[in-house]
Structure formats: structure tokens, C-alpha cells
Amino acid sequence: MPYRSACLDHERLARPEWHGIRAEFPYQSRQFSGERRIASIQTPLPRSESNANPGVPRQGQLNRASTTLSFDEAPPFAKWHAKVVHRPGSGRAGMTREATIPFIHSGNPHPARRSKRKRKSMNHGKHHTKPMMRHLFTLLLAVLLLTSLPGRAQAQLPELGNPVDTVLSPDEERQIGAEVFSQLRARGGVIEDPLLDSYLNDLGIRLMSSASGTRFAPQLVIVDNPMINAFTVPGGYIAVFSGLMLTAENESELAGVVAHEIAHATQRHIAQMVAAQTGNSMTAVAGFIAGILLGAVDPQLGAAVATAGIAGAAQNAINYTRMHEREADRIAIDTLRRADMDPRGMASFFETLQRRAGASPGRQFEFLRTHPMNSERISAIRDRLAGLNNDRFGANDSESFRLARARLAALTGRSGLSLDEPEETYRQAVAAQRQGNHDQAVEKLRPLYRDNPGNRWYALPLARALNDTGQTQEADRVLADLISLYPGDSTLLRVEVDWMLDRGDAKTAYQTARQAVEDRPKDAEAALTLSRAASAADRPLEHHEQLGRYFLLKDNLVAAHQELETAYTHTADNPRAQARIESTLQEIERLAGQTEE
């Protein structure tokens, strides 16, 4: 009887041909002589003419000390949940804590639709479970078992010279970060906007290129949440809450927060926390991942509100030490200076938050809770800045920051934000466009564009508004002029192709995206754009292959393997594509094997 491996979403929908679940939770426990323990809970296939055997029970339990892990059936083809409940008996009397892990079906499709490939897959089987997913399950179970025990000892710092790579390698960090952000996007908590994405990631690249330590390719997103917070996921993945971006008064303050988060990534503080753990846990980073994947709040509040619990739940396990915070401050200052950005913005932002917290003692600022702040720490930052020559820094702001802030305020419906001109007019135009008042948007954007024809912040929304009001020729001209100024720009490619698809011209959209990928084979966003165009053009092979390439370029090996396995099922009449995808799958499995070792 075939069983499936419980797995995370990878931004994909559950499919009706997936019939059962097998959930494996491998973990190691130093209290039990370091032996590897597997908790395996299985659910049967649905009853049918071909499957009359009722199979095993649909609920299983794993008992370890006073902790119970149960796997309960969800509605058909929906999410399944693993629940950990801590009962009274260990720790403080009467303490009961629960956490729920969401999983959905994954693995190979129904046997009748499976590929004829005979070699091993990362998707199924006890011994061939997806390496990164197995690692994630390990982390999740470890933290849930840990955090349900209130009285656990304080972790100690690792001895000097103890390599953190033996616990969590940079490759593993990147794969974990990619998986977590894939889930975060799938939950709908991220603001998807080409202009904001481009601005924030350009800022991240500028700072990461000036940072010391282990440099990752930074991936930044804006979480749609009014709280003032930011957090780092392993591998250089950074989330900035919309509330923080709107609170920052200038670009230097925003850059200070991003540089601080980048320092946590480049100094691999999460990996250090993993290496520091003692007792019956293998990792503290699992709490971070669990906090993101669980939501840790009432799901009825909606996906956007659910992200409010991310950093708080994560911090219960990570809770950066004061040493890590001071180190991140010091390195962030150096990073900002090398990036030619005023480091005083970081100190001013921290001071602003501390003043607000003092003026509103009943209000909790998430950034201060997850990044403990005190007067000694701010004084240390000020003392370090006092010994540096900061007079060489000019304006601590930029036009892009001001327009990004205005655009974000419009997209999130934030009112009461004090903006100068032309930012206030721009905010009104974007708000009108968001509300469907395209004529008003054109009226406000036209003069802004006329004075700044090369400004993407004005040109892109104007082109869209013109198109939506039926002025297609002028819209095409505005977009074409912009593309000529920024050839090879992934954001413009995405807008151009989406525009063609909206007009029903899937053939031209596909050809445009195909040429872009040929010109820029390492451009992940171009691959993602081509996958959408290929889907619209009814080219399933290229759709899945390009989506797999996108995930591979983003270091998400599990999702890449899954998409390429699906692409392989469409290669029966295409031996060249079959060989190409086979080679890529083997390379992914080789990389995954190295990571697992």
C-alpha cells in the first residue's frame, strides 16, 4: 500500500490523486545515548473498489516522557497537522502547552501517473526521504519537544574553535531559509510588489556586499504586518515588517535595521545557537522555523495577522544572546560605513523605539522584544560612532526610499503618514489605482512622469493605469521607453510579460520570456516569469522545468527536485529534454547528499 511523505507546501496546491500520508520525524537525543529515533505515523488510502482494506488507524501517537505527538486527519486533500501537547508531570505543575505543525500532501503522484524513472527519488521512502525535509522535520520535532519543557537549562556558548559547520552548514542554512520563505509566501503574508521588491533587495545586496563574514545571496521580503519588527532566517533570508518600513524616518534608519539583520546572517548566529544547545535538543533554530511555519496565533485572524506571531514564537527558541546583539551592532556599523551609508541611522532608530516604548508602557514593540535593547547597548553604539568620522556622509535619505515608503503606505492603507511632495501625490495616485480609480491615477501620475520620464516609480504605475483606461498606445510607449533605459531588468520583464498575458497574448509573452532566459540563464526571476508564460501557452514541460530552475537558483533543492520530477513526466516524446532534466535531477541529488552528510 503506497504512502506519502508529509511535507511542506512549496507554494503548490494539493492534488486529488495523492491518497495517503506517511509522516517521519527523525531526531537525535543526547539523553538516550545519541541513538537515532524515528517516529513514523501512517494513514491509509481512502476506501475504494481497488482499496477495500481499511488499513491502519488514521491516528497515531508517539509518547516520549510526558510529551505526546498526534497526527490527526484533516479534510480530504487539505492540510494535515501534527500536534505536540505537553502534559503536567515534567516541569512546572499544571503546565500545558500545545503547538500545531501544518503539512500538506507531497511526493510522487498516483502510481498510474508516475514517471518510469527507476532511480531513487528524494520524495519517498524511509531511507530516501528528502534530505532537507528530513532535516526540517528533525528541527521541528526537536524544538517542540524542547519548548514544551519549561524548566530546561540555559544553553551554553560553544567552545572556541568548535566549527558550527558540523551542526549546520551554510548550504543547509540556505536550503532552510529557502524552504521557510517559500512557506511564508504561500501563507499570503508577503507583499508582492515588483517595485518594492526591487528596492528592498537592491538595498540588501548593497549591504551584503559590504559585510564581513559568510556572505549569502540576500533575499528580502516585506511582511504585511503593522508591527515594528524584522527577523532573519538562516541563509541570508530577511523579512522586514511593513510597520517597520513605515516607521523609519529615513533610509539610514531602514538600512541600519537591515544591516543589523545581515550581521546576524553573516556571523551565522543561528548556527552558533544550534551548536550551543545542550541536553535533549539538537537545535534552537527549529523554534525559529516552527515560529514561521506554525503562525503561533489564531488562524482565524487571517494570514496577514498570522505573521504577527512569527518573530515572537521564533524568539522563544533563538532569543539572540546579548553577545550576538552587540556583535551584530558592531558589524552593522562597519557594514554601513563600507556601503557609504550613514551608520548613525541605526542608533537613531533604536533610540526612537526606546522613547516610544517609554512613552507607551502598555504597548509592546516587537523589535525590542525580539532584539532586547537597553540603555547600555545604545550607549555602546553611540560610543563606537563617536570614535568614527561620520561627517563624510551626506544626505541620509534617497528618492527611492521616500517613494517606496509612500507606495507601501498606499498598498497597506496606512493613513496619517506625514509625506512631502511629490511623495504625497504619488501615494494618492497609487491608492486611487488600488481602489480601481484609474482615471484619477493617470491624472496624478502624468505630471510626475513628465518631469521624471526615467523614474520607474512613476512610469510603471502610469503605464498600468493608461492600459486600464484603454489608452493602450500611450501605455505601450511608456513601458517601451522604460525598457530601453533598463535593458535586462527582471522587474520590467515581469511587468511586460504579465501585461501580455493580461491581454491574452500568451504566445508573445512566452517568446519574450524565453529570450530573456536565454540571455540571462542565471536570472531566477526570469525563469519564474518564463514558467508563468509557459503555463499560459500550454507548455507544461517548460512550466515545471523553469519553475524547478527558479527554485534551484534560489537554493530550494526540495522544491526544485519536486518540480523537475513533474517536468520529467512530460518528456516521453522529447529525449533531449529527458536527458537534460535527468542530469539536473542527478545534480540536485548529489548536492542534497553532500548537505545531508
Catalogue the E-assigned strands of 225-349.
230-233, 237-241
Beta strand 237-241 with 219-223: parallel, antiparallel or unpaired?
parallel
Q: Which amino acid is at 1?
A: M
What strand order describes the sheet that includes 219-223? 219-223, 237-241, 230-233
Cβ-contact 477, 453 below 8 angstroms: no
Beta strand 67-72 with 80-86: parallel, antiparallel or unpaired?
antiparallel
Distance CA 475, CA 461 (A): 10
Q: What is the pLDDT along the chain (597 residues), one digit of tens a residue?
A: 222 223 323 332 232 222 233 333 333 322 222 222 233 333 333 333 333 333 333 333 333 332 333 333 333 323 333 333 333 333 333 333 333 333 333 333 333 333 445 444 454 333 333 444 444 443 443 333 333 333 333 334 434 444 666 666 777 777 777 777 777 777 677 898 989 999 999 999 999 888 877 677 788 999 888 888 888 887 888 889 999 999 998 999 999 999 988 888 887 777 777 666 543 344 444 444 544 444 322 333 333 333 334 444 444 444 556 677 778 888 888 888 888 888 888 888 888 877 765 544 444 444 545 455 556 777 777 777 776 666 666 556 789 999 999 999 999 998 778 889 999 999 999 999 999 999 999 999 999 999 998 899 999 999 999 989 989 899 999 999 999 999 888 889 988 898 899 889 999 999 999 999 999 999 999 999 999 999 999 999 999 999 999 988 887 888 888 899 999 999 989 999 999 999 999 888 887 765 544
Residue listed under C-alpha cell 510607449? 477
Q: What 3-state class would DSSP assign to 225?
A: coil
Cβ-contact 133, 558 below 8 angstroms: yes
Report which secondary-structure segment, H or E, holds 39.
Answer: strand 36-43
Taking the model in full, what pTM does it have? 0.67
- Helix ranges (H only) for 452-574 are 456-468, 472-485, 490-502, 506-519, 524-536, 540-553, 557-568
Q: Which amino acid is at 43?
A: T
Distance CA 373, CA 354 (A): 8
Please state, in angstroms and as integers, the Cα–Cα distance from residue 480 to each residue in 36, 166, 483, 493, 526, following that order.
59, 51, 5, 11, 18
- Provide the sign of the torsion angle of the four alpha carbons 262, 263, 268, 273, taken in this order: negative
pLDDT on residue 267:
79
Cβ-contact 576, 198 below 8 angstroms: no
pLDDT on residue 414:
86
Cβ-contact 569, 580 below 8 angstroms: no
Name the DSSP letter for residue 132: H
R_g (Cα) of the chain, nearest Å? 25
Cβ-contact 189, 299 below 8 angstroms: no
Reported CATH class of domain 494-597: mainly alpha
How crowded is residue 526: how many other Cβ atoms within 10 Å of its Cβ? Answer: 27
The β-bridge partners of 70 are: 61, 83
pLDDT on residue 24:
32
Distance CA 244, CA 470 (A): 37
Which residue ranges make up each domain of the chain?
Answer: 21-147, 164-386, 494-597
